[in-house]
Amino acid sequence: MGLEMESPKEQSSYTVEQLVAVNPFNPEILPDLENYVNEQVTSQTYSLDSNLCLLRLYQFEPERMNTHVVARILIKALMAMPTPDFSLCLFLIPERVVIVLSLHFGKWRSSSRHSLFSPTTLRLGGSNSFGMKLPRTVTFSSLFQVLRKLSKAYASHLLSLSYQKLPRSVLAELWLLNMDGASLDKFIEHQVANSGWILEKENGSIVLPQNEFNHPELKKNAGENVPLEHIARIFPILG
């Protein structure tokens, strides 16, 4: 029997992933999906399937759409680049909502060095050229704090993929971090304690943990090797 016939108490025993897998079009799971988005932000986890499921439910229940939750979904999807998650989410969001997000993030961008959510990124321009009256109740101050927190985690992730070692001055120039002085020192200390960074005291350079991207190695697969005698058989044909 499907989950749509079960009581809310019985549904609470399922994980969000199970609810999405069994009955993704059940509007009763919408609050669970919204809470799960907020959980992804605080715990720095990510689930594209559940987020896409929520955006699809918003299409069927437009009056229940939460703009703050939609913005959080876009932030998490953008942090997953270079995957196409951001575009997949954007295609499920109504144009009127994209306009609201474009305007608010555009204003925030103009008042800081961050350009993570520029109007171009959100597909539409930053002017209200459509003559649409924006709701006064939409405020994004708390969301900007979330964005700043996630942008630091995203910057740390990008650095770990790109560098083996880098000087402190490079970190200070990163617009995504937008930090210097004591705030940058605090960020480095946090990464040393939690992400395996090593700070060289003699020159201030930072050594990043090894991974398959910043320390690539040539992998040899013995199963793909072709014996020389097999290649020698085609020499007469080529001649």
Q: What is the CATH number of the domain that holds 79?
A: 1.25.40.250
pLDDT exceeds cutoff 60 at 111: no
Predicted local confidence at residue 80, as pLDDT: 82
231 in a domain, yes or no?
A: no
Q: Which residue has the tokens 């992933």?
A: 17
One domain for residues 117 and 18: yes
58 in a domain, yes or no?
A: yes
Render 144-185 in DSSP notation, one character per residue.
Answer: HHHHHHHHHHHHHHHHHHH-SEE-HHHHHT-TTT---HHHHH
Q: Whole-angstrom Cα distance, residue 162 to residue 141?
A: 32
One domain for residues 22 and 106: yes
Predicted local confidence at residue 106, as pLDDT: 56
pLDDT exceeds cutoff 80 at 13: no
One domain for residues 64 and 180: no
Query: Total structural domains in the chain?
Result: 2
pLDDT exceeds cutoff 90 at 48: yes
Q: Whole-angstrom Cα distance, residue 83 to residue 51?
A: 15
Tokens of 235: 């020499």
One domain for residues 54 and 115: yes
One domain for residues 13 and 61: yes
Residue 74 lies in domain: 3-140
One domain for residues 25 and 106: yes
225 in a domain, yes or no?
A: no
Predicted local confidence at residue 128, as pLDDT: 36
CA distances from 157 to 30, 86, 111, 136, 170 (A): 31, 17, 25, 36, 15
Cβ atoms 28, 64 nearer than 8 A: no
Q: Is the link from the previous residue into 119 a cis peptide, with omega within 30 of 0?
A: no
Cβ atoms 58, 67 nearer than 8 A: no
One domain for residues 135 and 174: no
One domain for residues 93 and 194: no
One domain for residues 136 and 170: no
Average pLDDT over residues 11-40: 88
One domain for residues 18 and 119: yes
Which range in 86-100, 140-154, 176-190 is most confidently predicted, on average pLDDT?
Answer: 86-100
pLDDT tens string 68-92: 899 889 888 888 877 889 889 999 9
Exposed/middle/buried for residue 131 (C-beta within 10 Å: 0-12, 13-18, 19+): exposed
233 in a domain, yes or no?
A: no
One domain for residues 168 and 136: no
